[in-house]
Structure formats: structure tokens, C-alpha cells
Structure 1
Amino acid sequence: MKLLIFCSFLVLSYSALNPLQGLVECTSCHLTIEALRAYAKESEHWNTLAEIFVDLCVESGQQKYVCQGLVNEFRPVVTDVLMDKILDPEFLCMDMEYCTSPHYVEENFTLYATEIMKGKPAGPGPNPTGETTIKFAHIADAHIDLYYTPGTSDECDEPQCCRSGTGNAGYWGGMKCDLPLRTLEAALDQVAAMNLDFIIVTGDVPPHDVWNQSRSYNLLNIQTEAEIFQKHIPNTPIYKIFGNHAPFPINEYDYINDPYLPKAFCEYWNLDSITRIDLEKHAGYTIKHGDNLRLIVLDTNTMHSGNLYLSLNSTNPQGQLTWLYEQLLAAEKSNEVVYIFGHVPPGDDFSLSNWARHYAVLMDRFEFTIAGTFYAHTHNDEFHIDRGVFSGKPTQVQWTAPSLTTYSYKNPSIRVFEADAKTKTLLDYTQYRLNLAEANRNSSQTPVWEANYSFKNLYGVSDLSPQSIYVLALEIGNNENLALQYLSNFNTGINVPTRCDSKCMHILTCTITYGILDDELNCQGVDKNWLYKFNEMLFGKWVYKVK
């Protein structure tokens, strides 16, 4: 390897002294950088860095074997991605003027937004009558645990418990644990009995033992969940997507060189080849339900800041948002109504703001075509509001459902929406919740998810429109009792706070009334921390490569 680098430098030096040898000069620069990159990836210095990260992890309170497992899993990804980003032959050789291309052009967002917004209809279509309705469930974040064992420790010194030791892990679940299969099956039996029109399932599936996983292990969990769903709910359409726990290691998914998830996912769920190809090419797929409802399903690993592969090119990964625009435009022309769902909400702390801002433009442009957007990931009962790109007015609500898993300190939850049958306008939803403590006290009885609240009745809103939810969010910022009610639901009735002062209410209002992390932080007036600034540097602005 050292000999290869030396020879590459000799060729590069010779070509630099011969200006007529432009092609040789450019090629030799590429060879030199590529050789240097390969050498850097094999450097023994990574062993020292790995040891440092293990020590820092242990100092933070984790067990050494947990830290070692995490470092071993992430080291290959970190090494490859960082070296590919820092030692990029195309960029460096052009920047050092050994090559004349490619050129990099920063996107003009205002121009993008202006072009997208052209042709937006003047107003909404028919008002919902509510005379006939449809109902559908949203099931989020099951995070099943194949090794859950009742009677083990539910308060252990690992990130996830209820597998070993002696303690109070209940028959139906534990608070610092993931979900037993029996609890998932009980939940699905109850959902099956509701005679719903359809169900959306937004990931995640693998448990939180992220220090001790493998690709095959994660896929086994996804396969197991798919089989259980199809066994217990055989007659209701189920629309689904995977989340950020599906890849191995967690979050890390290489769309360019190793797009393995769609094939396995579609096989487990018996989805057709068109769906698989769309997931591979566009990180999304679309399916029609009934006469006029189109569901657009997004793989949100394209916008999760935990996915280091995106740092190599975070500009519209897989052309996903271009594809989304095309699907929405086709739906608009066909007079279809659209529901969009995915795993990570665009307003989440780990969502890339550049992606979310471009997404928000589409939510504005197709405000009257999209009747609902549904997300998960946080395990919390919450919502964010998308705002008009130029007007700032509410355009959509990011309805974020609480998790079915108990991890961490949650009561298992299921959400059921009711919508107008013709317009598909959301009329209300009922939040079902399992009182886990009570279920474990009566472990011989099948647990029941009780209807905990109706959104309209609890919050006193006239409808679920973005405008009404925006007014509600402002009220939450001025009414402590209402803020506490929201926080109680946010936490699924566990560890409920008893105070929410003016600062607390202001943070809630900012978090709810904006659907982009940058805007939420600006509203709160908080200083961006080192991690946020690191992400800004790592992922950067949207830039297009021009040959």
C-alpha cells in the first residue's frame, strides 16, 4: 500500500510539471487520493480511537461490554464514511486544480420553492359531511423482544432490561424493556376485532439491544413481526414501512452500495416487485386504497441525522422528494386524496432540517390534496405543524403516534382515526392505552387497551384541521392546565409532570407550531449545541454536482 501511494505521488508530481498532460494529471490525482484513502482506512490509529470511545462510554455509566459492542458495530461505518468524505478524489482534485470538473453548485432554495408553488389551487375541495366514515389504526414502534423473560430485572445496568437477573419484569411487559410477543399478539387481536378499513404500521421492530445486534438478527425481528401481523389480522389491509432500527448498525443505511432492506421487507410482507423497486430507487412507494385514497409511504432513513452515509451526499437522497412531488402532482390531477406516512417525523430532533424544509414546500403546494400525514419514532404522543413556505400559515399536521412498546417508561398505545368517507378529512382519533401496571397485576387475564381519550373531546377543538391545531398549540402556550394535559398524553400517562411554567409552555408551543427543527430552535431562542453544529458541518447545505 505504501509503495502504491509513493508511485502515485511520483506520477502526480511529473504531471504537475507538464501542463499539457491534463488528463494524466487529473487521473494521477484521483489514484493518489484513492490510495491514500485506502491506506487511511487501514490505519492502526483507529484502534486507539476505538479504545478512547470505549473509555468515554464507560465513564458515561455504561457497562464495558455494551460500549465495546457499540464501538465494534459502528467502527467500520465511521471509518469508511469519514474517510470517503474527507478524502473524496472528485472534490479534492478539482479543488486543488488538478482536474477541471466536476463543479459544485449550492441550491437556490427560494427558486426551488417558487417553482414548486406554481399552480397551487386556490382553495380546498368539498367540505366533509361525516355522514359516512372510515376508521383506520396507526400502530407505531412495536420493538418486539424475542428474549423477554417475566420475573427478570426490569431495572438493570444495561440500556434494555427484562432478559436476565431477578426482578419485577411483568408478564405483559416492563418499563425499561421492549415488548413481549404475547403483548403484541393481544394488541393485534383487539385491533382485528375493531373491523377497521385498514391499518398503517410505521416501524420500528428490532429491540433496543443495539450493542449486540447483526443484520440477520434485525431482519429476523422484522420477519417475526410481519408473520404475527398476518396471522392475527388476515383480513384487513395493512400498509407498512420500516424505521431507523431496521438497518444494522442502527440508523446506518447505505442506499448506494448496499440497499438490502426493500428486498427482505417486501418478501416478509408479500409486497410486489413494483413496491420493492420503488423502495430501492425512490425510498418510497405508493398504493391506492378504495376509489380515491392514495397512500404514499416514505422511508425516512433518507433524512435521519443518525445515518452517517447521508453525510456523503445529503442532497435529496434517492431523489425521494422529487419522486414525492411527482406522486402528489399525479394524485392532484386524478382527484385523489393522499395520506402520507413514514417513521421519523420531519419535525423530530434528529431530522435533517434541509430535507424537512423541502418537504414543507410540498406540504404547502399540495395542501388541499393531502388529508393527513402520520409518523412515529419518538414513542411519544405528540404533533408538529407544517407551515407555508412564504405565508407561514398552517398547512399540515405531523400526527406522531405513541409507541406500542413500553420502552422506555411508556404505556403501550394504539391510535384509531376516524375520517370522512368521501373527502378522507380526519374527523377525530381515539387513543387506546394499556395500563401496564394493572395488566401485570392481572397477568392471567388478556389485557385490554382502553379508550383513553378522544382528541376532539379532550382538547375541545371543532375539527382536526391544521388551523384548529395551530390555535390549540397557542392555547397550550398560555394555559398551564392544558399544557399539563398535553404532557400527560405525551408521556402516555406515566411520570406526569405537575408543573409547566412559562418557559415550559413556550417550548411546547415552539415545538408544536413548527415542523422543522431549525425553526423550533429559533422560536425557543436556544443556542445551538455542539452536536447540532457538528451535524450542520457534517451534512451541509444541498449542493448539486455539475460535470
Structure 2
Amino acid sequence: MSFILVDLAIFVCQTFKIEDNFICKGIVGDFSDEFMYVLGQIIVEPHQICGLLLDGMELSKLFKTKFFIFFSDCGKFIDPLNSTWSIPIPSGQPTPIDKQPVPNGKPILKALHLTDIHLDMLYTPGLEAQCAEPQCCRPQQNPSEVSIAANVKQPAGPWGTVGNCDSPYWLLTNMLAFIQKNHKDVRLDYVMVSGDLTSHADWDYTRDSHVAMVKNISDTIRSYFPNIPTYFAVGNHEGVPIDNFAPHFTPKQFHMDWLYDAMADAWTGWIPQDQVKTVNMGCYMKKIYPGLRLISINNALGGDSINFFLYVNQTDPDGTLTWLIQQLLAAESAGDFVQIVAHIPGGGSEALEGWALNYYKVINRFQNTIVGQFFGHTHSEEFYVTYEDPESASTRPTSVVYSAPSLTTYSEYFPAYRIYKIDGAYKGSSYQVIDFEEWYFNITEANADPQSPQWKQLYASVNQEYGLNSQAPSEWSNMIERMRTNDALFEKYRENYYRRSKYDGIGNCDEKCKRGWLCSARQMHHSKTLCADLGCAYRLLITEHRSRNPLVERQGRNSYRRKSVPVHLSNEDIRQTVLAWKSRASSDCPL
């Protein structure tokens, strides 16, 4: 039966030209074993699976054609399992304490934050950057036969290309060399890498290539910073297949131990020996300074809606949230502070609400202990504020989540990195983030003068850039309010989001668009009420842009809305519709 379904999936993919033949075979082959296992285990009805995967009611309402009548029996698009499962939150929460300003003259720590490196080892300057595939700037089928066509619409640049292209290896080494040379006056104390090491060409993913990438990037960073510890988090693109991290209740053949073992080996010296065992669920804790612990949490395992295994059981897979609570309780009892490094922010469309809301409650419970949350995934410069009441932005802000900018250009960004200034290691330190600076790489300028590429400072102080008095959560919450009426501040934030200006092609954003941006900064979980005062009734879709789609029009940022659809549909129309249906934005407040 399984090979029949696999062949059928490949046939549908190729017939409707959802992707080219080689991609269809690759991606279906990657997922076939996992999907067949999940299909045999889940406890929902077939019509619910149909609704989950296709949302046929949505399609039939959209087109009102007989062609799509067979979708009408699909169930409603809902999470068939209990998306609002709860994890016990420990009692005895101390009275919340607002952080006090750091006295002048105290020691300072400097931490480099890298994320979404997305190296493409097949990146080839001169190849087509506007290809028809999800990933461009690389040979599409046979890497050993690279030829540059005469009719290339946009050649891939020497240093990278804004579009559906990832980072060449030499962009990473150029950045690390620049940091090594130009930040000697602000010696780095440690590095954080919050996930996604390999390219977006997920049909090419193999275990061997992922193991090699983990080792390659770890060794490369170590070669530039041999005496500076680096702490990684697991990203969704570390999965093979992409997004799929099998909890240990599944058969051993699906377990990710091959990846976790490779990580533990590559990170030798950065992870203490007593934590190597927990790396087998993609998590670990290290006491990096007296009174400060760093926790790396694998939220791709439990919080990624594209992880098929979670549709068997999504309740705290491998006990990762339980483990996080135990670590935070231990830190609280010892009087230590904690920094968290993770990948997927809780408000994105790829984040499961059960995980996101439980994580939110954990953060609120331990708000006195947690002094930093460092995420990635979106490729953009973003922040998220959490509130005492997860459903009300009028309550006291409890934390701020930093989502750092990516190295990859995929699909509309200039590469960037960030350096945090943190209250230093001394008796009585708060270890709170004091400020941060950001540097970026103008791809357009670098490709125009490839012999002299330049990294430039985007800003020297985020406090000065946005008029913040400190990094307190209340300051970031106030910034959301200030942007409602201060258009200049909002445009500055939007340009920094891309590391590009309107002169580099980011487009305009009207009032409705602006409200969507402000809403997303409150969405560390999926709430219908956090943005009620902004006129946004639903959560916003903040996802990675993975394909060009002529039936979907840009709504700013990373969200898209369907264009008007013709009644008579070609195979190409059908293909693009199937790709597009899940990318719909809130009609009340689109991004």
C-alpha cells in the first residue's frame, strides 16, 4: 500500500506540476516513510486528515467550480488533536521584579548572535537567480554539470542575491573574518547561533549532508574564534525530512539521534559532559558564568506544525517543556539567571498553539529568572513582547523576545549580525541585556564592487535608534504604542527589519499594513484578543517565503494573499493554488 501512495503522490506532484519532476521525486521520497507511519497511528477520521492537509471547504468556496466538488466532504481546517494541552506550571511564583538600571562602570559582556545561516554549498555566481524552482542560484539537477545559459534574466551575484537564494560559504567566512578583525576593541565573550544551518533546497536533504554541515559550520566558527564558546539551537531546517523531528515514542528508525550525536561531537568543549545526554532531544543547559545559565531548547521538536509526528501526539514531546521547567526551577532555587536560545517564535503560522501558549506561561512564571530570549527563523529583525495576561496587551509586559536578522538573503533581506551588550559577570549582576548593535552587508553594493565588499553598521545602539530608555519589556511595549502615531519611527523599524530601504525595493506600507506589523510584535502566541485595539481579529502569518507564486500577491513582510482567481483553471493554476491556500493572511489586518 505504501509504495502505491508514494507513486500516487509523485504522479500528482508531477502531473499538476507542483514542482519539477526531480523535486517531486526528492521531496516525496524524503517524507514517504514518515507520512506512512503517522497515517497508520493517528486517531482521526479520513475527512479530518483531508481538511488538515487540503482545507477543501476553503478551496470549494473559493472556486465554486465542479472541478473542486470532491473537496466538499473534507473536514474543516482544524488541528484534530488537542491544541490547547496544558503543562503543570509550578506554584510559588515570586513577586515580579522590574529590572533596575545597571550602574555605570560595571563589567560588560558582549555576545554575538547569528541565525539562519542557510549555507548553500552549490551556490554558483552567474546562474539564474529568477528561476522557476523554490531555490535558485544553484544548478537545478546535476551539480557536476554547471553551465551558465546565455539568456539568464538575473545572474547570481558574487556575494549572494536577494531572492530565492541562500548564502555562499564565502559570505560566512567573510563575515567571521570581519568580526574577528574589526571588533577587537569589544572582545566577544560568547556566540549564539539560533538554528537553520543548511539551504532551503529541502528535496536534497540527506542525513550525511546535514551531519557534514553541522561539523563544517561548527569548525568554521571555531577556527575564527578558537577561544570563544559558541552555543547553538536546533532549527527546523536541521530536520531530515525538513521540520520532522521524531520524538522518542516513535520507532527507532525515525529518531534524530544521528543528528544529535553529530551535534554533541561538533560542539565538544562548548557543552558540558553532563549535558550530552539531553542533547539527544536537542536541548542542553550550561552555567556560562557564576549566576548565569544558558538553555538551548529545541522547539522545532514540539512547536513546529509541519512536524508530522506531532499529529500522533503533540503533548510535550520528549518532555522538553517539562525539562525546561525543571531547569528553570533549579536556577530559581539557586538564585541564578537564565538566557534561552531557540529557533521558532511562538506567534508564527508554523508554531503550534499548544506549545506556544505553554511556553508563554512558562516565561511568565519565571519572568524574574529569565533575562534573555534569543530566537531566529523569520530572517528579519523583529521583537515580541509577552504580557502578564496572555490575552491582553493592556496588562504588564513580562518579557521581550529578540528575533535576530539572518545571514541568508532568502528571500528579501540583506545579511546581518547582532552583538548584545549584557550586564557583566560580577557579584550582584542582573545579567540583563543593556543594549545591542547591528551590522549588515549591502548585497547590491558588494556585487557591484566584488573585490571590496563592506560590512556596515546599521546602528550602534538600538536604544538610541528607537529612543528606548532601557531593554525593559515595558520599553518595547511602549515602542509599539509610539509607532502607532510616529510614522518616522515605524519606517525606521521597517527598514531595519529588512536591512534595506524603500530605495532598495521594500515597497510602501499603508495604515492597515502598519497595524499588522504592530500586531505581530504582540503575538508570541496565537491570540484573537491581543490586537483587538488595532482592529486585528486574528493572528498574523509570519512564515518563511518558500516559493514564487503568481496567484498570490504580496501583502508586505512575509505574508501573502490570494489574487482573484479565474473560473477556468489550467494545471498551472491548480498547482499554484495548492501551493498558495495555506498562506492566506488575516483579512482584517494583513501584513
Contact kept? 1:383, 1:399, Cα under 8 Å: yes
Counterpart AA for 1:48: L
Secondary structure of 1:508's aligned partner: helix
What's the TM-score, normalizing by structure 2? 0.74
Out of 483, 487, 490, the position equivalent to 2:494 is 487
Distance 1:450 1:393 in 2: 33
TM superposition shift of 1:275: 2.6
Distance 1:161 1:107 in 2: 36
Could you report, residue by residue, the CA deviation over 1:448-488 in whole angstroms, capped at 9, with x for unpaired residues?
24344531111111111111101111222333332222221
Contact kept? 1:189, 1:233, Cα under 8 Å: no
Counterpart AA for 1:192: Q
Distance 1:288 1:172 in 2: 38
Out of 22, 36, 50, the position equivalent to 1:65 is 22
TM superposition shift of 1:235: 1.4
What's the TM-score, normalizing by structure 1? 0.80
TM superposition shift of 1:532: 9.6
Q: Does 1:171 align with 2:128?
A: no
Partner of 1:83: 40
Out of 141, 147, 166, the position equivalent to 2:116 is 141
Secondary structure of 1:245's aligned partner: helix
Out of 260, 263, 269, the position equivalent to 1:262 is 260
Partner of 1:318: 318
Could you report, residue by residue, the CA deviation over 1:172-220 in whole angstroms, capped at 9, with x for unpaired residues?
2122321111111111122234221111011211111112221111222
Note closer, same or farther for the CA distance 1:43–1:229 as it changes in structure 2 (3 Å cut).
closer
Note closer, same or farther for the CA distance 1:243–1:435 as it changes in structure 2 (3 Å cut).
same
5 Å-filtered alignment, 1:16-415, equals 42=2, 44-56=4-16, 58-59=17-18, 62-86=19-43, 115-124=89-98, 127-132=101-106, 133-164=108-139, 165-166=148-149, 167=152, 168-175=155-162, 176-193=164-181, 194=183, 195-256=187-248, 257=252, 258-260=255-257, 261-270=259-268, 271-281=271-281, 283-301=282-300, 302-389=302-389, 392-415=395-418
Contact kept? 2:188, 2:228, Cα under 8 Å: yes
TM superposition shift of 1:125: 6.3
Contact kept? 1:186, 1:447, Cα under 8 Å: no
Could you report, residue by residue, the CA deviation over 1:128-149 in whole angstroms, capped at 9, with x for unpaired residues?
2242321111001111121222
Note closer, same or farther for the CA distance 1:359–1:289 as it changes in structure 2 (3 Å cut).
same
Counterpart AA for 1:278: T
Partner of 1:3: none
Counterpart AA for 1:259: M
Distance 1:269 1:531 in 2: 37
Contact kept? 1:484, 1:498, Cα under 8 Å: no
Contact kept? 1:130, 1:420, Cα under 8 Å: no
Note closer, same or farther for the CA distance 1:107–1:489 as it changes in structure 2 (3 Å cut).
closer
Note closer, same or farther for the CA distance 1:323–1:162 as it changes in structure 2 (3 Å cut).
same
Could you report, residue by residue, the CA deviation over 1:152-182 in whole angstroms, capped at 9, with x for unpaired residues?
2222222222224345222221223211111
Counterpart AA for 1:509: L
Could you report, residue by residue, the CA deviation over 1:412-449 in whole angstroms, capped at 9, with x for unpaired residues?
10011112222111111111101111112221235424
TM superposition shift of 1:400: 0.1
Contact kept? 1:143, 1:207, Cα under 8 Å: yes
TM superposition shift of 1:297: 0.7
Note closer, same or farther for the CA distance 1:531–1:428 as it changes in structure 2 (3 Å cut).
same
TM superposition shift of 1:279: 2.2
Distance 1:457 1:224 in 2: 37
Partner of 1:509: 518
Distance 2:246 2:378 in 1: 23
Q: Does 1:457 align with 2:464?
A: yes
Distance 1:107 1:310 in 2: 10
Mean CA deviation greater in 186-195 or 520-529: 520-529
Could you report, residue by residue, the CA deviation over 1:262-294 in whole angstroms, capped at 9, with x for unpaired residues?
11111122245433311225x421101122211
Contact kept? 2:516, 2:540, Cα under 8 Å: no
TM superposition shift of 1:295: 0.5
Could you report, residue by residue, the CA deviation over 1:315-365 in whole angstroms, capped at 9, with x for unpaired residues?
011111111111111111212111111111122221111111111111111
Contact kept? 1:357, 1:516, Cα under 8 Å: yes
Distance 2:290 2:176 in 1: 27
Contact kept? 1:143, 1:178, Cα under 8 Å: yes
Give the gaps of 5 or more residues in structure 2.
Answer: 46-80, 140-147, 542-580, 585-591
TM superposition shift of 1:399: 0.4
Partner of 1:437: 444
Based on CA coordinates, which of the two structures has the bigger radius of gyration? 1
Contact kept? 1:172, 1:439, Cα under 8 Å: yes
TM superposition shift of 1:107: 10
Contact kept? 1:187, 1:449, Cα under 8 Å: no
Counterpart AA for 1:170: G
Distance 1:414 1:211 in 2: 28
Distance 1:107 1:383 in 2: 25
Note closer, same or farther for the CA distance 1:465–1:214 as it changes in structure 2 (3 Å cut).
same
Contact kept? 1:129, 1:420, Cα under 8 Å: no
Distance 1:276 1:191 in 2: 30
Contact kept? 1:54, 1:71, Cα under 8 Å: no
- Number of positions where the alignment pairs a residue of Structure 1 with one of Structure 2: 471
Alignment RMSD (CA, Å): 2.7
Distance 2:228 2:453 in 1: 22
Distance 2:441 2:416 in 1: 6
Note closer, same or farther for the CA distance 1:72–1:521 as it changes in structure 2 (3 Å cut).
farther
Partner of 2:569: none
Partner of 1:20: none
Judging by fraction of residues, say which structure has more helix.
1
Note closer, same or farther for the CA distance 1:157–1:497 as it changes in structure 2 (3 Å cut).
closer
Contact kept? 1:247, 1:253, Cα under 8 Å: yes
TM superposition shift of 1:528: 9.4
Note closer, same or farther for the CA distance 1:124–1:459 as it changes in structure 2 (3 Å cut).
closer
Partner of 1:540: none
Contact kept? 1:510, 1:520, Cα under 8 Å: no
Contact kept? 2:375, 2:404, Cα under 8 Å: yes
Distance 2:128 2:165 in 1: 10
Q: Percent identity?
A: 28
Distance 1:221 1:444 in 2: 27
